[in-house]
A and B are shown apart, each in its own frame.
Chain A
Amino acid sequence: MKKFQRIPGGLVAVLLGLLLWVISFTAAADWTLNLTEGVTEISREVYGMHMMVLWICVVIGIIVFGAMAWSIIHHRKSKGHAPAAFHESMKAEMLWTVVPFVILVAMAIPAAKTLIVMEDTSDAEVTVKVTGHQWKWEYEYLNEGIRFFSNLHADSREAAALHSGIHPASVDNYLLEVDKRLVLPVGKKIRFLLTASDVIHAWWIPAFAVKKDAIPGFINEMWTNIDKEGTYRGQCAELCGRDHGFMPIVVDAVSGSDYDAWVTAELAAAEAAANSADREWSMAELMERGEKVYATSCIACHQADGQGIAGVFPTLVASPVISGDIAAHIDIVLNGKAGTAMQAFGRQLSAADLASVITYERNAWGNDRGDSVQPGAIDQMMK
């Protein structure tokens, strides 16, 4: 009998052709195939271990698949090979129980050592509390007293809308850019405290080889020490609802002096923002700012047209909250609604942002309620 007699004629050719096409299609592209080495000592250790295990697997694979291939080629009936009668061997069984065990022990030792270092968060110089929200990150520098939110960049959000017609390639760092980046100094041990306000999220920067869940009601710890200045990007790594894919993380790693300068500037900006509640805002001003705030903080659930998603996220067009008293509207925006994705925005946004967005919601999409609220009034309520 011939070797490939039973394999249909054209089949092999067709499939090989297909494979070649895929390979040629892929060869032209510029892409990453492997884990990043990263920019921390830990990330390089992790990378080294990843490569070690990968090569161990490749070698074992070559041996096992090689033996299989040998039998497939040489021990076939069509070549007149008669079956041997053996069907057990204590020696062989012992060999392939003990050898893999030894290899595993050899792999486990360095892994355990690295893990012990990774879990040691003591003696940190900078501590950042990271809070996951649906769907944005909040950063709080505990010693410096800086606190801000980091949302998906407006360009990405616009392009990411269903049928937006904007090609993602035309947006810089599509889905991996934020409106305000986390700034960290290089060469210092930075400790992260992770928690969440609503559901579980996970904070991950591949270049630092750190990933940990942010869990509501609990605080997780991890640390990093960045070697190299630069911009590093990551994403939420735990399914957290509709916009799980749209809450990136961007870190600017800067020198110690740049970091100090950034801290000073942030503190000054925070003070200026606090004073914005002191004056009277015009309706036009509120509406203009409200539209922007809506686009970063509300649009993911309530949608661009305010209609929400039936059965999941309520509409804001002529809804009971909009038609009702403004006080109830302010209350739900400030304090959220328990058991739903509606968060307490009172501690996320400034008084000016809150006043603007509430005013906007009451007057956009043909709601035209005509009423508004001033930042000063919101500021009073938040005190």
Chain B
Amino acid sequence: MNAYATDAHHDADHHGPAPGLMRWVTTTNHKDIGTLYLWFSLIMFFIGGAMALVIRSELFQPGLQIVDPHFFNQMTTLHALVMIFGVVMPAFVGLANWMLPMMVGAPDMALPRMNNWSFWILPFGFAMMLSTLFMEGGGPAAGWTLYPPLSLQSGNALPFVIFSIHMLGVSSIMGAINIIATIMNLRAPGMTYMKMPLFVWTWFITAYLLIAVMPVLAGAVTMLLTDKFFDTSFFSAAGGGDPVMFQHIFWFFGHPEVYILILPAFGLVSEIIPTFSRKRLFGYSSMVYATASIAFLSFIVWAHHMFTVGMPLVGELFFMFTTMLIAVPTGVKVFNWVSTMWRGSLTFETPMLFALGFVVMFTVGGFSGLMLAMTPIDFQYHDTYFVVAHFHYVLVPGAIFGIIGGVYYWLPKWTGNMYDEKLGKWHFWTSTVFVNILFFPMHFVGLAGMPRRIPDYAVQFADFNQIATIGAFGFGFSQILLLIVVVKCIGGGKKATDRVWEGAEGLEWTVASPAPYHTFSPQPLVK
């Protein structure tokens, strides 16, 4: 008897999850690991959110009331690092873990042991990063971009943050390798590339971006480390280096990173809108090509984050033109989503509401992005609250709404129970109203001249800041509804059908709800 046969027999009979807590530590099951990622991300969402509320509380009125400016800077720095590396990225990986194998008809991820490892690195990486808050001198305070020479003035926090970034990078790269290997090798027979669901496509492209740029970030922060502790001068003019070189390297990572944070959300929305429009996605192939174009362009636009560093004129022109060009494929995506809805048969369950909120508010963020792309006017916007408004529009009602929409969309498949639709709608409407109260006024204060990353401001900015803070608390507390909905749904509820949604198409809806511990062995045949 060969090993394969033994395995198959074993699997078919009694291979469920191991009992007890060790199940989560030793698991190699893509569904378990997906669950771990998603819970981790939710916990970090509340931690990063609490930091945002410290920031917004201090900014509620002019003058310093609550925290020292040095601690304020630690909060802005860690809020960003936590939200980017601890919330949005792990949430996407979690969704990918749960859904990619089921969407392409694979029995599991291609590299299950590495999958376990790439998750379990994360809590340790973040424990290291957040431990700096309890050290003398506190956490990193130079902004998540860690620009030298300022970041080199950090105390003990710097090496911890750098090693933590290394760990998160290793985790991301392993996750990305796993996703690529799964997609390339484990698709069900008949599932050609151009038949893959769009969430699979966007993740496929994102995984390549991750592999391309995470090592660049690792290199940049390692150079910071050697500048600080080993007397190198990569970024010090006094030693023949150049502080601006760090910014170039950082944003060569940073701009693709921006798309790493949004492309999977594009995929999620492209799954949700057709389902609730009961109509196929409009322009499937152009959606794929648009995603690939955005990914390609992301490598040649990085210096638009640094228009004010004093680049040569031709550099400024080049980066302005390439950046404006991104509006074309992004526009194609938005137009295709609207065309998918056009003459469909729409219903508005919570996932659809979040997807529609995504399309509208992401587009608002896209508009301000277009404005920022234009160098001469960017000089006025650069490093003001206008920028803060811009990237929060694309990341919160953008990426985060996409993720939440995806969670609502697949929650019945994961738990076997329908979530509480009424609470879900409350969650959507409160989030949407408050997120706009929170971020829309930031456009105004930014245009009126308020710089970002300041703990205190001139009195003429007071009113809008006050409104934004009210919105922040409203938005923050609205997210407790998400937690309630999820816990309630795990606990029970109306039983979900296999297909869950009337208009749902795709392999994941052909398996039972809740999805059995092992799905698709043997693999299905896709026609």
Contact = CB atoms under 8 A, between A and B. Distances in A.
B453 A160 contact: no
Contact of A53 (B152, B238, B370): B370
A237 B382 contact: yes
Contacts of A163: 64-65
Contacts of A60: 367
Given A22-B467, A87-B283, A65 B379 contact: no
A308 to B, nearest CB: 11
Interface stretch (B137-145, B199-207, B491-499, B508-516): B137-145
Interface string B246-257: 000000000000
B284 A64 contact: no
A54 B236 CA distance: 40
Given A161-B64, A213-B310, A244-B453, 15 more contacts: A32-B460, A50-B371, A50-B377, A53-B370, A83-B278, A84-B342, A89-B282, A160-B64, A199-B147, A202-B383, A204-B383, A215-B244, A215-B309, A221-B310, A237-B308
Contact of A215 (B243, B342, B376, B448): B243
27 contacts: A6-B421, A8-B422, A11-B426, A34-B447, A46-B380, A50-B377, A67-B342, A68-B341, A75-B277, A83-B278, A83-B343, A85-B279, A88-B286, A97-B332, A111-B374, A162-B67, A175-B62, A175-B457, A204-B383, A209-B376, A211-B379, A211-B380, A216-B243, A217-B236, A239-B452, A309-B70, A312-B138
A370 interface: no
Residue of B73, B376, B437 with most chain A CB atoms under a 10 A cut-off: B376
B467 A174 contact: no
Do most interface residues of chain B lie in helix, strand or loop, or is the interface mixed? Answer: helix
A225 B143 CA distance: 34
Interface in B60-79: 61-65, 67-70, 73
A174 B67 CA distance: 19
Interface of B: 61-65, 67-70, 73, 135-138, 141-143, 147, 149-150, 152-153, 155-156, 236-238, 242-244, 277-286, 308-310, 313, 316-317, 320-321, 324-325, 327-328, 331-332, 334-335, 338-349, 356, 359-360, 363-364, 367, 370-371, 374-377, 379-380, 382-384, 421-422, 425-426, 429-430, 433, 437, 444, 447-449, 451-460, 463-464, 467, 470, 503
Nearest to A300: B69
B346 A53 contact: no
A104 B325 contact: yes
A241 to B, nearest CB: 6
A15 B452 CA distance: 29
A54 B313 contact: no
A18 interface: yes
Contact of B363 (A18, A64, A173, A339): A64
B323 to A, nearest CB: 10
Interface of A: 6-8, 11-12, 15, 18-19, 22, 25-26, 29, 31-36, 45-46, 49-50, 53-54, 57, 60-61, 64-65, 67-68, 71-72, 75-78, 81-89, 92-93, 96-97, 100-101, 104, 107-108, 111-112, 114-116, 118-119, 159-164, 166-169, 173-176, 194, 198-200, 202, 204, 206, 209-213, 215-218, 220-221, 234-246, 309-312, 339-341
What 8 pairs across the A-B complex have the smallest Cβ distances? A217-B237, A311-B137, A245-B454, A311-B136, A220-B310, A57-B367, A32-B448, A84-B343
Contacts of A36: 448-449
A46 B64 contact: no
Contacts of A213: 308-310
A16 B308 CA distance: 41
Given A111-B375, A116-B313, A100 B321 contact: no
A36 B472 CA distance: 27
Contacts of B149: 198-200, 216
Contact of B343 (A34, A61, A71, A339): A71
A72 B375 CA distance: 37
Contact of B308 (A34, A75, A87, A212): A212
